[in-house]
Chains A and B, each alone.
Chain A
Amino acid sequence: MTAIAHKPSPGTAPGGSVFRRPTAERGWKSWFTTVDHKKIGIMYYLTSLFFFLVGGIEALLIRTQLATPGAEVLTADQYDQVFTMHGLTMIFFAVIPLGTAFFNYLLPLQLGARDVAFPRMNALSYWVFLFAGLFIYSSLLFDGMPDSGWFGYAPLSIIGSDPSGFTLFGTETTRMAFYSLGLQIAGIASIASSVNLIVTILNMRAPGMTLMRMPIFAWLTLVTSFLLLFAVPIIGVALWELMFDVAFGASFFRPSAGGDPLVWQHLFWLFGHPEVYVIIMPAFGIVSEVIPTFARKPLFGYAAMVFASITIAFMGFGVWAHHMFTVGMGPVATSAFALSTMFIAVPTGVKIFNWMGTLWGGQLRFTTAMLFAIGMVAMFTIGGLSGVTHALVPHNTQQHDTYYVVAHFHYVMFGGSVFGLFAGSYYWYPKVTGRLLKEGLGKIHFWLIFIGFNLTFGPMHILGLAGMPRRQYTYPDDMGWNVWNMMESVGSFILAIGVLVFLANLVISHRGPQDAGHDPWDARTLEWLTTSPPAPFNWTVVPKVSSRDEAWTRKYGHDEAKPQGVSAGASPEARAEELARVGYDPGGSGEGIHMPSPSYWPLVLAAGLPIMAYGVIFTGPLRIVLLAVGFLVLLTGMFGWALEPTTDDGQDHHEMTAAGAH
């Protein structure tokens, strides 16, 4: 940092030392105050990975309990907590934020922007998300974790205090207060980040990048963000109502006072089904980038892909009641939702055929990323097809609450989303770190996951058809379910070993030299034109965009048949010359580029929310105190945010200097 950054500009009101902006850009402190979308993306990734491991351990507990009939590894009460938290953790704190991690890191790079539209709000989203996760797990210290399923059906969710053993702090509210408040806080993070991403995509594209020239991943991000923007407030309302029921005795879902538990189900699934598409869309986006790169072909049917995604998003708000066919909505509503559920398979099928069309006739390279991408298409197709069977009302009624449903949504969420996210991890790891993940370990990782996954979730179809109910902590010996259950449990441990191999790969690969180069995959989209890892300011010179596959066009021209590109075997000097001709970012000090200053107010503001949430958990004077303290912290954060001096007149940024850059 030089004096340029600190010199108060004329016109900036003296903010006082309290409001001085932090300046650290390296070291541990910088992670707490950073507003850099790349650092926030990495923080999102690592935090979600942590929650993914926690959710995975919960899954192993479930599978250990169910490996043999009549097992007592977990009590019924513990089992309820563990399967509820497994669902909540995987959906809200692992898979969705892993998607957000990719959005955060990649979007500005793919669009040719220097950061997202609201960098401080981006940091706020991360901290709020982290506190939401920690808050909901802090329920372990109280009455125990939420135990009414991730769907939290009333009236089970509002019946009052649960039987529990050891507690550190006694409270009079139930475990589900943690559920309603923790998810509420996570929802705030989702809305903030979706507003941020939508504005970034619509407003911050590089010169020449029209909407239909955006990388397909950016389109999927836009669709996902709109889904979150419109779906999260609906569960927000349901969660507020649940909170008032649980902690303040309101009658929204309390049948004894006239409340209707079905209102919860409708609100929950009106959010819950779009949420399913929120979970799968990032994986669609990743796979749609990975397959063209490793098939050396442009994405087949780009426009069809875009419109299919938009169609899925629209229709996603009109299929929710297929989760509720057994509650007795009457034949008209049931038929309507059965039809809409069948129709939504059409745009989804369009996507699958587009990926196959991209693969068809391509020069395929089976890297680990490609294996996961193809695995995702195959596994998601299985999950999608078993999903369509749920549109058949009699079949749905038959399979409701059996392991058939568990099999279906794990094929979609694990076989679809998680496979896609693994593909993205292998594909973009060199962009983020400048190093390639080890391919050998990667292949082992893929095959362990692929075999373990199918061994775990494949037999669940059979168990479901054989009538084994889900959410039961054990089962009798003489049902003929023993073999399949044991097979699933073995599969789940193979899956766990696969995940450990991935972690080992992350660590081992990170120790290697940064020798991946700008563009190790010979890729197609804009982010591969900048350095790996990118400088804090992303681009020394923002590229002008003239085509959909900008990097590819620069390398090979528009004529796919006549490559005129960078020769892979050339000497380093010749290669550097060719790279410069193509227009790769030359890298540099970034002298004179204005970037947002770090700020600690997002962290302060976010910290107010869990404090207020604890206020609702407790009763009596402590409630008032905690609510007041939390609100004050929140208010301090807001005022600090608003009054924070800017280091340049009227602007929220400071100058990059040689010292601050690489």
Chain B
Amino acid sequence: MSTTTTDTMPSAHADHQTSLGLSNLKLGMWTFLGSECLFFGAFISTHLIYIGNFGNSPEIRQSNLFDIPFTSVSTFILLMSSLAMVLALAAIQQGNMRSFRIWILATALMGAVFMSGQVYEFTVFYAEGMRLETSPFTSSFFVLTGFHGFHVFFGIMMLVGLWAASLVGKLTPSKAEMVEYIGLYWHFVDIVWIVLFTVVYLIPAE
């Protein structure tokens, strides 16, 4: 990078000389997550309004459907994936790529287990006659938890992408910040699930 203007130039991408001393990508990720808070906030508001609104099918309700022990286990697995994410970041920051690959795959795997749990749960509910159109409660339940599931799916794709990039040598310890950004997203999705699990599953509707 021969350049005559390095000292005066805040270039379009030089992360090390920004006004706030924070890289653009990190600031961008935090900004985006701020927007996501409103996204889930609005969905959760809708759900709180419809939490006891069973339309014409009063038998399709939380107490007849939810299997709290099952969902607790899948919640626990998702939370543990955040721990694995932290360990993956620590590993790549210390330059331990083997350990990084193990933990990043473990994170993705736990995310996948959580998603499978959600798919299984949806299948069971469907079999019990719960449909998207049954009532405002069911519409809100499927769409809200479905969008969270989509966020988890997107996160898994990025985690596997990180793993693949480290295999072909595109992700090296010098780019550990990339793992940090995706980690921010992953932790955010986990925190949202803590709120969802409380609001959707644990708060009694009646």
| Residues of A that sit less than 8 Å from B by CB | 13, 112-119, 191, 194-196, 198-199, 202-207, 209, 229-234, 236-238, 240-241, 244-245, 248-252, 257-260, 263, 267, 270, 541-542, 544, 591-596, 642, 648, 650-653
Contacts and interface: CB of A to CB of B under 8 A. Distances in A.
Interface in B3-52: 3-5, 8-13, 18-20, 22, 24, 27-28, 31-32, 34-36, 38-39, 41-43, 45-46, 49-50
Given A117-B24, A260-B136, A542 B1 contact: no
A181 to B, nearest CB: 15
A204 B136 contact: no
A371 to B, nearest CB: 36
Interface centre among A114, A237, A249 (most CB of B within 10 A): A237
Contacts of B38: 230-231, 233-234
Given A251-B136, A258-B136, A648-B1, A117 B31 contact: no
A593 B143 contact: no
B125 interface: no
A541 B10 CA distance: 11
Interface residues of B, number: 52
Contacts of A116: 12
A596 B24 CA distance: 15
Contacts of A205: 10, 19
Contacts of A13: 168-170
B10 A113 contact: yes
A83 B10 CA distance: 47
Interface stretch (B53-61, B93-101, B188-196): B53-61
A257 B1 contact: no
Interface centre among B1, B18, B147, B169 (most CB of A within 10 A): B1
B38 to A, nearest CB: 4
A233 B42 contact: yes
Given A112-B10, A232-B35, 12 more contacts: A116-B12, A118-B24, A241-B46, A245-B139, A257-B136, A258-B55, A258-B136, A593-B3, A651-B13, A652-B12, A652-B13, A653-B13
Contact of B12 (A114, A207, A231): A114
Contacts of B142: 250
Interface of B: 1-5, 8-13, 18-20, 22, 24, 27-28, 31-32, 34-36, 38-39, 41-43, 45-46, 49-50, 53-56, 132-136, 138-140, 142-143, 147, 161, 168-170, 175
A642 B25 CA distance: 14
A288 to B, nearest CB: 22
Given A257-B56, A258-B54, A251 B133 contact: yes
A257 B135 contact: yes
A204 B10 contact: yes
Contacts of A257: 55-56, 133-136
9 contacts: A116-B12, A194-B31, A199-B31, A232-B35, A233-B35, A251-B136, A258-B135, A595-B12, A651-B13
Contacts of B136: 251-252, 257-260
A241 B50 CA distance: 13
A115 B143 contact: no
B94 to A, nearest CB: 21
Task: Kindly list the 5 A-B residue pairs having the minimum CB-CB distance in the complex, ordered from nearest.
Answer: A258-B55, A233-B39, A237-B42, A115-B12, A250-B139
